[in-house]
Amino acid sequence: MRILLVGAGGVGGAFTAIAARRDFFETIVVADYDLARAEKGAAADSRYLAAQVDASSADAVTALCREHGITHVMNAVDPVFNMPIFNGAFAAGADYLDMAMSLSKPHPEAPYEKTGVKLGDDQFAVAGEWEQAGRLALVGIGVEPGLSDVFARYAADHLFSEIDELGTRDGANLVVTDDDGNEIFAPSFSMWTTIEECLNPPVVWEDGAWHTTAPFSEPEVFDFPEGIGPVECVNVEHEEVLLMPRWVECRRATFKYGLGDEMINILKVLHTLGLDSTEKVRVKASEGFCEVAPRDVVAAVLPDPATVGPRMKGRTCAGLWVTGTGKDADGTPTGPRSTYLYHVVDNEWTMREYGHQCVVWQTAINPVVALELLANGTWSGAGVLGPEAFDAVPFLELLTEYGSPWGTKELAP
């Protein structure tokens, strides 16, 4: 296996640190628009090479794949670049993985009732071409989407005879401080992506169809395990809702995220001021004028998520709350069941063991596990497939082998 890693930022850097401890691949070409950042990531292991790439150019991705005999392209950049990387991998005859799917476009007349272009629609539109070519595009294989989708497959196969709701629930008690110990606003993940998914109309699967709601709708308090505790969660647009019902039968699928009042208020203000826009505007520069997208400016002035680890404390939890009818080992229904399958990561541990903060580390470990399963033939397939299309047990066993076990918590039905 020869891997092209596109993106050497927070998640890409954590990916290189995790993969360096495994032996399932021959080489990884670490590529980024910033060659210096690619070189820093490539320094993690002698099997790594650094390269410069323009992720907005499918031709550039194809050329880099051909130059290095790439078999698998790992996309670790903001999803605005998904389609050029996705198309570039296909043209090069390589398999493809990403952690976020092609972008959505709200319905032009009823954005909070009907779906427009959904997350992943552009990729699923060419699923037949990938299948016919015998190539695999494994989409949404980060932590969310990704691990929660694996949990959905596991719950359907081993825990439930009927599923009422697949409810992804993410929360944390992370705090970032300045040099004086004062808490500061510093998102632990890409602010560009956070704006995209939190301000778009959230999608809900219900009664055999997808529909939308308003941002931050249906607030609920969810009690997260392992010391995190109660966190208010709200509806957010996310890929799980678009993936799970394609392979796992359920009456409802939702995604709710514990954003917190401060983040919600900031996002609302950014939207009110138009600072969430990706459309370039003409602004005065030191010499004349230039064009810049407001959202890019917001992302640029905030701390790089890859750098906040030393100032961050706490834990992050990703998981899936499943309700329905349980079953025993032989498949016999056992009555109402409510189970939370989860994965908790402590920032102090990831910083000590890997030198990367917990949110990007938790995102990065899942595609590494998936690539190892593909390398040894445990997972295989063709077309555009989500994690739900594969056996969950080998994934969860290997995740535990990597030193990051998952857990379950039974809740009152």
CB neighbour class for 57 (10 Å; exposed up to 12, middle 13-18, buried from 19): middle
Q: What is the pTM of this model?
A: 0.92
Question: Can you give the pLDDT at residue 413?
Answer: 86
Question: Can you give the pLDDT at residue 311?
Answer: 81
Q: How far is CA 135 from CA 72, 73, 95, 276, 388, in A?
A: 10, 12, 6, 36, 18
CB neighbour class for 273 (10 Å; exposed up to 12, middle 13-18, buried from 19): exposed
The domain made up of 2-98 is a member of CATH 3.40.50.720: yes
Q: Give ∠ CA 146-242-387 in degrees, rounded to 5.
A: 30
**Beta-carbon count within 10 A of 397 CB:** 12
**Beta-carbon count within 10 A of 352 CB:** 9
Between the two ends of the chain, the Cα-to-Cα distance in Å is 45
Residue 256 region by backbone torsions, left for phi larger than 0, else alpha for psi between -120 and 50, else beta: beta
119-134 burial code (b ≥16 CB/10 A, e <16):
bbbbbbebbeebbeee
- What residues of the chain score a pLDDT lower than 70? 188-189
Question: Can you give the pLDDT at residue 187?
Answer: 73
Query: What is the per-residue pLDDT across 313-349, written as a single tens digit (0 to 9) for each?
Result: 999 999 999 999 999 989 999 999 999 999 999 999 9
Q: Report yes or no: 215 and 203 within 8 Å, Cβ to Cβ.
A: no
Domain boundaries, the chain: 2-98, 147-356+405-410
Q: How far apart are CA 326 and CA 332, in angstroms?
A: 8
Question: Can you give the pLDDT at residue 261?
Answer: 79
Question: Can you give the pLDDT at residue 411?
Answer: 95
DSSP state of 117: B
Nearest to 408 by CA among 341, 324, 336, 334: 341
Specify the fold of 147-356+405-410: Dihydrodipicolinate Reductase; domain 2 (3.30.360)
Q: Report yes or no: 246 and 388 within 8 Å, Cβ to Cβ.
A: yes
What is the three-class DSSP state of 106? coil
Q: How far apart are CA 140 and CA 244, in angstroms?
A: 11
33 phi and psi, to 5 degrees?
A: -65, -35
Query: What is the per-residue pLDDT across 395-404, written as a single tens digit (0 to 9) for each?
Result: 999 999 999 9
383 has which bridge partners? 136
Helical ranges in 220-346 per DSSP H? 239-247, 261-272, 294-301
Beta strands in 295-389 (DSSP E): 312-313, 315-327, 333-346, 383-385
